[in-house]
Amino acid sequence: MMTWLKGITLMFGILSVFSGSILAVLGPGRKYDGYQVWRVVPSNAHQIKSLIRLETNFDGFDLLDFWREATPSSIGRPVDIMVPSSLRNNVHDILTSLDLDVTITIPDVGALVNGQMTEIQTRQVNEPVGTTALSDFDYARYHTYDEIQQWVSDIVSEYSDIASPFLLTTSYEGRPINGFRIRGRNSDASVTPPPAVWFEGGIHAREWISPATVMWFTGKLLQDYEDGDELAVNMFDNMDWYIVPSLNVDGYTYTWTNDRLWRKTRSDNFEGTNSGCVGTDPNRNFPFGWSGNGTSPFPCSNIYHGKSALSETEIDGVVEYLRSLKAGGQDFHVFMDWHSYGQYFLSPWSYSAYAPNPPDYDDMMLMGNAASDAIFDVHGTVFQSGSSIELLNEAAGSSKDWGYVPYDPTSKFKGGLGAKYSYTVELRDKGEYGFLLPENQIQPVGEEIYAGVRAIGDYILRELGFIV
């Protein structure tokens, strides 16, 4: 047996030994003391295949967490792995046997988590949120599920003539997932609905910067509209904008109460899987390409694709709601799923590294580049545009692939939304903090993405002929 394969096999055995005791030690709140994030940069196909196997073919508790994954096209691109102290030596031996150099990007994940949560808890005591008035909402802090839902309600109340609420669905644990549609006062929807944009945040629970950013730029654009800003008026008068700031609400709540780095939903996987693990990766649960490359059949994996396509009520809710709008004549021009981290505008495809670029690839690059240029002009932050398989990972059953493929009225398991421009947007940063971006970065992220969204609006309005 090859050395690297022996090492991985040995590690799987060690993981299975540790898995039961780890949960007992962690108790009700998971601790990350001594965990580190390591970065390796594969330079050949053999290294990539080994890293993929390490992530996807492990049926055990999620002790290794790939923050940035390996794909067949990952040569020369960083792969980030969170490693517990108990496995450092073993994992290091495996990586060095593959001739991979290890760089420590986060030396103590636990210290970072504890510092962030302590700061938030202290602030909550000393600086309570205050009234529910929208004017008091602090966009430069992270907010709980309840606060986000209150923000949705306040937006609808404050802008009642242009913002209409909708209940997307109810989560596995019974939480409402609320959103709203923005349709400007001068919108002409008398015959057919206007072309539409769909923005969803928080599909991965630990990516707190996603809901925070969606709320930031939405609030700013609404104020622009009220102030008579020409571009904002054109954006909202000529298109419908659907906003869901937090989609994976159960997982998000869990990151505040139990495990700051929880990623998945909170559905149980007990029946039929012989697993004690909870949750499915919601961004592997869409029907297009479901259970393919970049997913795992093991319920304990962070990229577990679920028992079936649309097994997660949150994802089924997205598909059902958008299909109902399509059936009513609404044409979606843009679908965007806001994530972190990496600073990318990622277009289809993600279901296979060997898939040819989609027909609208060149146009998607033009719009992604327009947004990236606008973002750079604010704080000098560099975003890249490209397909997921070019720049980041394989992810069969992803939202953006489903958002792009043509609509099929016969079944929700066939086709997708048919949006010409469908993206996953990965926000800051490049790995210094990863999923633990400090609150002091919310404002600069919000400012630069606000500029990017305005560029997207301008691009679409020109393409559709609303402005010249």
Cβ count within 10 A of residue 356? 8
* 51 CB-near residues (< 8 Å, 6+ apart): 40, 42, 66, 70, 74, 79, 98
Would you say how long the chain is, in residues? Answer: 468
Element containing residue 347 per DSSP (H, E): strand 344-347
Tokens linked to 353: 């590294």
Handedness of CA 25, 30, 32, 35 (dihedral sign): positive
Q: How far apart are CA 442 and CA 263, in angstroms?
A: 20
The residues that bridge with 36 in the sheet, in sequence order, are 83
Which residue out of 426, 447, 448, 463 is catalytically annotated?
426
Is 147 catalytic? The answer is: no
Phi-psi domain of 200 (left: phi exceeds 0; alpha: psi -120 through 50; beta: other): beta
Distance CA 450, CA 214 (A): 9
Tally of CB atoms within 10 A around 8: 22
CA atoms of 285 and 35, how far apart (whole Å) = 29
Order across the sheet with 36-40: list the strands: 65-68, 79-83, 36-40, 103-106
Token look-up 């209940």 returns 167
Distance separating alpha carbons of residues 301 and 405, to the nearest angstrom: 27
Q: Is the dihedral of CA 328, 249, 375, 180 positive or negative?
A: positive
How far apart, in whole angstroms, are the C-alpha atoms of residue 65 and residue 381?
A: 26
Per-residue burial over 317-332, b = 16 or more CB atoms within 10 Å of its CB, e = otherwise: bbbebbbebbeeebbb
Pairing of strands 36-40, 79-83: antiparallel
Residue 112's Cα: distance from chain center in Å?
21
Distance set, CA 204 to CA 20, 128, 160, 312, 392 (Å): 25, 27, 30, 13, 16
Q: Are 51 and 393 spatial neighbours (Cβ–Cβ below 8 Å)?
A: no
CA dist 286 and 314 (Å) reads 10
CA distance 277 to 302: 10
The residues assigned a catalytic role are 426
